[in-house]
Structure 1
Amino acid sequence: MRILLDSFWRAVAYCLRPRVMLLSLLPLGLMVAMAALLGYFFWEPAVAWTRATLDSWPLLASFWGWMGRLFSGDVSSTLAQLVVVLAATPAIVLVSLLVVSGLMAPALTRLVAARRFPMLEHKKGPSFIWSATRAIGLTVLALLALVVSMPLWLVPPLVLVLPPLIWGWLTYRVMSFDALAEHANAEERATLLRTHRLPLLAIGVLCGYLGAAPSIVWASGLLFAAGFFVLAPIAIWIYTLVFAFSALWFAHYCLDALAQLRSQRAAAAYASDRSPAIAQDADRAIQTQWGAP
């Protein structure tokens, strides 16, 4: 419990550091850059195709005529632009978050290691391909578990328990592995993940509930279209900040647990090395007091 609470408060404090705040703003800059690039090459063709598709629907012909009488502007053109923006935004956000998450987690782990554990030895970890393959496999398992558990979501309490539990398990398996990748060998990782399974799972579940908070912002943006372009960047920033907090919490916990494990093993090895010498000293003391047999 001590290491759990200590790592939590340290993760909160690290989130207020300027470096972490700047990293959390990276998705916004990346999203703007991607939107500008895609807009430069594909904006006009996408809007033209969307408008032609909307105009080709017979059921909407009367609706366009009615809207044209109410408003003086080109309603179908404006709606086509809005549809393109709403369709492209989730894809841009997803790509931005994936790219930044791949860059943020190692950077935050190195930050924690450099400030708290500068003497912690780096041992050979898994390759990038193996880590990525493992993360993809675990993600597929989590998605399958979500699909299989969907009928249970009809039971009111379970819909608030099962999805965060599944995402929490995925977060715990992926982020704890990544936090130990650069410092622990395979045996140390297996030992720590087995010994600290429940606390790490609890961290994952709590981070899963925190990750649901931006969904409220997304829903508000979709309900109130006028504020969508303001609420969407806020939701992206919250997503990234939650991800940064999760990475920092796992990094503090896992590296602290690794340091304690190595300290305990070093103390045990020192005691085992000293025990023969202590036994010999005791034998010499007995021989001196009672005489050699």
Structure 2
Amino acid sequence: MTLFLDSFWRALAYCLQPRVIALSFLPLLLLAALSVGLFWLFWEPAVLGLQVWLSDWALMESLFRWLDSVGMAHLRNVLAPLLLIMLVLPLVIVLSLLTVAWLAMPAIVRLVTERRFPKLAQRRGGTFVGSLLLGLGSALLALLALVLTLPLWLIPPLVIVVPPLVWGWLTARVMVYDALALHATLEEREELMRRHRYWLLGIGVLSGYMGAAPGLIWAIGAMAVVLAPLLVPLAIWIYTFVFIFAALWFTHYGLAALTLLRGEALTVSSPAPILQDDSSSSSEPHA
């Protein structure tokens, strides 16, 4: 618990540094450019396709008639764009996480190492290719898990439990690897995962709950569609900053735990000094 809380406060303090704030804009620029490009190419055809699909669904037609009866017919035009935003949102979260892991994480690890662990040996148990493959594979598994658990989202208590657990698992799996790739060997990383599995998952889950905050932006309803060109970059930046904080938290926790692990190994490997019996060695032989 001490290591958990200590790394949390340290990560929070590091978020106030100009260098860390500047790092949060690098993934933002990339994702914003990608979002603008995809919006320009696919937004109108995707919205039109959703509108056609919704109009062919009998249940939605009943909903539309009810909206007309209560004087909310204007929601017909914004339902498809809002639904499209909700469908794209998980992809935005995954891309934000992977972009932070691949672009910002190396700089974060260097920053924490310079300030707290300058003497920690770098044994390079991970590679960028390994991070790339692990990130993509884990992201696909997380998206599949979200799709398979969609029916559970209709149960009120589970909708606030299942998605954060999925995001927490994904965040922990990706960022633990990147936080320890430069310093820990494969064996050390596996041992740390075995010892600190639940604490690391807890960091991921709490980060997942913090990552749910940008979703509240879209709760403004119809205005979200009108303000989408402004809200999308804002949401991406919030997601990015949350994952920057998570990266700092995992790095502080992981490197501190690695230092303790190596300290234990050094203590075990150092043999205890052999004490010589001075009384027997200095005794004179009897005549």
TM range (shorter): 0.7 to 0.9
Match status 1:288 vs 2:261: no
Q: Any stretches of 5+ residues in structure 2 without a counterpart?
A: 50-54, 56-76
C-alpha deviation, 1:220, in angstroms: 3.1
CA distance in 1, matches of 2:203, 2:102: 20
CA contact (8 A) 1:153 1:159 kept: yes
Letter in 1 for 2:276: A
C-alpha deviation, 1:26, in angstroms: 2.4
Letter in 1 for 2:17: R
Q: How does 1:99-138 map to 2 (within 5 A)?
A: 99-138=99-138
Using a 3 Å threshold, how does the CA distance of structure 1 residues 148 and 130 change in structure 2: closer, same or farther? same
Match of 1:68 in 2: none
Of Structure 1 and Structure 2, the greater helix share is in: 1
Q: Any stretches of 5+ residues in structure 1 without a counterpart?
A: 54-58, 60-78
C-alpha deviation, 1:137, in angstroms: 2.4
CA distance in 1, matches of 2:132, 2:27: 21
Letter in 1 for 2:256: D
**Count of paired positions:** 255
C-alpha deviation, 1:219, in angstroms: 3.8
Match of 1:175 in 2: 175
Letter in 2 for 1:287: S
Q: How does 1:44-59 map to 2 (within 5 A)?
A: none
Q: Greater CA deviation, 227-236 or 9-18?
A: 227-236
Question: Helix, strand or coil: the match of 1:184?
Answer: coil
CA contact (8 A) 2:126 2:177 kept: no
CA contact (8 A) 1:10 1:249 kept: yes
Q: How does 1:17-32 map to 2 (within 5 A)?
A: 17-30=17-30
* Larger-Rg structure: 1
Using a 3 Å threshold, how does the CA distance of structure 1 residues 124 and 225 change in structure 2: closer, same or farther? closer
Using a 3 Å threshold, how does the CA distance of structure 1 residues 222 and 210 change in structure 2: closer, same or farther? farther
CA distance in 2, matches of 1:242, 1:120: 27
Q: Greater CA deviation, 98-107 or 218-227?
A: 218-227
CA distance in 1, matches of 2:45, 2:200: 49
TM normalised by structure 1 equals: 0.73
C-alpha deviation, 1:101, in angstroms: 4.1
C-alpha deviation, 1:289, in angstroms: 6.4
Using a 3 Å threshold, how does the CA distance of structure 1 residues 226 and 162 change in structure 2: closer, same or farther? closer
Letter in 1 for 2:264: Q
C-alpha deviation, 1:212, in angstroms: 0.8
